Structure 1
Amino acid sequence: MTSVTALFSPVEDDLRVLNQNLRQLVGARHPILSAAADRLFQAGGKQLRPAIVLLVSRATVGDGDITPRHRRLAEIAEMIHTASLIHDDVLDESDVRRGIPTVHSSFGNRIAVLAGDFLFAQSSWYLANLDHLEVVKLLSQVIMDLAEGEIQQGLSHFDTDLSLEDYLHKSYYKTGSLIANSSKAAALLSGMSDELAEHIYQFGRNIGLAFQIVDDILDFTQSSETLGKPAASDLRSGNLTAPALYAMAKQPQLVNLISREFCEEGDVEQAITLIHESDGISQARELAAEHTRVAVEHLNHLSASEAHQCLSRLADYLLSRCF
């Protein structure tokens, strides 16, 4: 399987500069908030979102180098993502992310919420200074979508009437919107036509949905140690994802367990077994594969380049993670 490092090789130096800049962008005016935000920057991760922004920038800019505005856009995307993770962990009461204590478990809920707000505010400031109205609108929509996604998720816990369409809408708000809109923004900063920028948007949207579906599959197929958080944590909290939704159609007993919110001992373990015994996980894999296929179709409207090739291979990599 291709490694993430190999996929991001055309922007390896760009990501190194991004990591250096993120700490400077957060600043030191509020040491506690900065330390809290820095916790997640230090935790690392795949940096999928800024890497996609940088790869799209290089795939659309032509023969020249990417601009400082492209680089700043990638930094803004990572700041928005990090802010959303801090808030998500508070809402989900998660104690661990990427194998290390979450911000709220180390600094308390109040500091965690303020640190997330602080990052959102900082990203909005740097976004405004890009001086590109359409890009400002796109990334502002992302922040609205993240909030909408959290609201939808909060209102649908243990909701056995949740449809697959509802799940995909929520997944777009929580994951797809940032990748889709920041990718389109990168294309616009490169001076691409509206038509090509829309293809880039659709690439990002479908890659984002595939990424979320794959993550939801891994929640059932990988260990807590590999995930860096408790396995099946979404199911335990009543957040129903693609594998569970598909399994519910074939397993009435699973619907009953979820409806009673796993109130009896052994309910969660029985639910996990029922999902594995159904074809819910394999159907979710097929759904992820369809979104990666559509993503690559839209990407093929771009001229050939090394960055373009890496974006295409990224789709294959995402899908390979759940097989």
Structure 2
Amino acid sequence: MLCRTLIRATSNMASRSIRCTSHRMCLTKTTSRDIHENRKSYKESDSPLITFQNLVEEDMTSFFLDIRQVLESDVPLLKDMCFYYFDDTGKSIRPKIVFLVARACNRAVHNNSSYVTEEQRKVAMIAEMIHTGSLIHDDVVDMSSMRRGKCTVNEVWGERNAILAGNYVLSRSSHLLASIGDTEIVKYISTIIDDLVRGELMQISPSTTFEHYLRKTYRKTASLIANSCKSVALLSRMDAGQVEGMYQYGRNVGIAFQLIDDLLDFSQSAEDLGKPANADLRLGLATAPVLFAAERHPFLNDLILRRFSRPDDVERTLNAVKDSDGLEETRLLARQHATDAQRYLGILEDSDEKEALFSIAMALVDRVK
């Protein structure tokens, strides 16, 4: 993925003009006060995911400031780019799930006491850093201009600089991972990056099978949540069966999350999503709604294999998805994975954290952005 983007980057990208004038303010230095005052720009404040916010409020209070401290650099440009997305305006669902799993596991093992260890907190930070670093690279590969309701790093600073920024975020996450000092955790977290690269390569290879799609979805999205949950469970000293259960919870939640993301790409506007709508189709990617629609409209298989490359392919596909049960079947599949995730929570003691994890699994399916 890095080689592909480096080849595409041109030597003068760093000096190009910024086209998104509404976001020129992102080039100015951001203070800790800005982080707390600008949260409402994108965050879904009325989401049911906020219901259990109080359980991780302590964990999230300085979360992004701590990540920024890890990313500190004496190169101003690098610092500005790396700080750009760590502004506490996203959903932050990954670290919240990791914190809830950590607290639930610690409560189960250590006399009903809910807390997060320093090492578990590092896992949550690493997960968010890997996620964000990979998004920066994805936006270069996909030539995206908008994410989370604002211009992408590559749109503001150029592709070459964006690649370097993504590399730096990932390298600093590796440095933080090494500080945990546990070889098993290193193995699980390293698997996430391996899966991200393999998933990206799978994505550029068109396929009409659900097996290919779900394996790609696991690698690009679910592996991060699954292996992060597995890591904090291991750090709680849970037994092997319990650790596997937390891995399966994260795996199923991650797949459900991505299925709904793929559904929303068809059903919501760019303003609601905070990024362009129908983006996957225009990039030549077939997701669950299209694969389901192809069962009713077999002509879609040819369009999938040629990556919707002809002038009217995208419009024909959109019409076919509308004239099918593709969106409904995608939501049903996501709901099944959410139900499977809830089932794995049976290994935990009853607690507020367990209840939150149970509710979040289905809230991710019912979300509208």
Deviation at 1:311, TM superposition (A): 0.5
Say if 1:43 and 1:100, in contact at 8 Å, map to a contact too: no
Match of 1:198 in 2: 244
Q: Distance in 2 between matches of 1:45 and 1:247?
A: 31
Secondary structure of 1:252's match? coil
Q: Distance in 2 between matches of 1:295 and 1:247?
A: 26
Computed over aligned residues only, the root mean square deviation of the Cα atoms, in angstroms, reads 1.7
Say if 1:217 and 1:322, in contact at 8 Å, map to a contact too: no
Q: Distance in 1 between matches of 2:311 and 2:214?
A: 31
Say if 2:339 and 2:362, in contact at 8 Å, map to a contact too: no
Match of 1:69 among 119, 122, 130: 119
TM-score if structure 2 supplies the norm length? 0.83
Q: Which runs of 5+ in 2 are unaligned?
A: 1-45, 108-112
TM-score if structure 1 supplies the norm length? 0.94
Q: Distance in 1 between matches of 2:161 and 2:173?
A: 18
Match of 2:133 in 1: 83
Secondary structure of 1:213's match? helix
Q: Distance in 1 between matches of 2:255 and 2:47?
A: 20
Match of 1:40 in 2: 85
Deviation at 1:267, TM superposition (A): 3.3
Q: Distance in 2 between matches of 1:133 and 1:64?
A: 25
Match of 1:125 in 2: 175
- 2:283 is the alignment partner of 1:237: yes
- 2:62 is the alignment partner of 1:12: no
Deviates more, 1:127-136 or 1:26-35: 26-35
Say if 2:104 and 2:114, in contact at 8 Å, map to a contact too: no
Q: Distance in 2 between matches of 1:88 and 1:147?
A: 11
| AA aligned opposite 1:106 | V
- 2:232 is the alignment partner of 1:186: yes
Deviation at 1:259, TM superposition (A): 4.7
- 2:69 is the alignment partner of 1:24: yes
| AA aligned opposite 1:84 | S
Secondary structure of 2:280's match? helix
Q: Against the structure 1 CA distance between its residues 258 and 70, is the aligned structure 2 distance closer, same or farther, given a 3 Å change threshold?
A: closer
Deviations 1:55-78 (A, max 9, x none): 011101121522111111111111
Match of 1:268 among 314, 320, 324: 314
Q: Distance in 2 between matches of 1:294 and 1:264?
A: 39
Match of 1:223 among 269, 272, 294: 269
Deviation at 1:262, TM superposition (A): 4.0
Deviation at 1:16, TM superposition (A): 1.7
Match of 1:107 in 2: 157
Q: Which runs of 5+ in 1 are unaligned?
A: none
Deviation at 1:49, TM superposition (A): 0.8
Written as runs of structure 1 = structure 2, the 5 A alignment for 1:128-207 is 128-154=178-204, 156=205, 159=206, 161-207=207-253
Q: Distance in 1 between matches of 2:200 and 2:306?
A: 23
Say if 2:281 and 2:308, in contact at 8 Å, map to a contact too: no
Q: Distance in 1 between matches of 2:171 and 2:311?
A: 44
Match of 1:312 in 2: 358
Q: Distance in 1 between matches of 2:175 and 2:63?
A: 17
Match of 1:116 in 2: 166
Deviation at 1:265, TM superposition (A): 4.1
Say if 1:285 and 1:322, in contact at 8 Å, map to a contact too: no
Q: Against the structure 1 CA distance between its residues 144 and 261, is the aligned structure 2 distance closer, same or farther, given a 3 Å change threshold?
A: closer
Deviates more, 1:107-116 or 1:41-50: 41-50
| AA aligned opposite 2:100 | L
Q: Distance in 2 between matches of 1:164 and 1:45?
A: 30
Deviation at 1:125, TM superposition (A): 0.6
Q: Distance in 2 between matches of 1:263 and 1:186?
A: 44
Deviation at 1:90, TM superposition (A): 0.6
Deviations 1:149-200 (A, max 9, x none): 111112x2xx3x4310100000000000000000010111111111100000
Match of 2:147 in 1: 97
Say if 2:140 and 2:159, in contact at 8 Å, map to a contact too: yes
Q: Distance in 2 between matches of 1:61 and 1:264?
A: 54
Q: How many residues align?
A: 319
Match of 1:57 in 2: 102
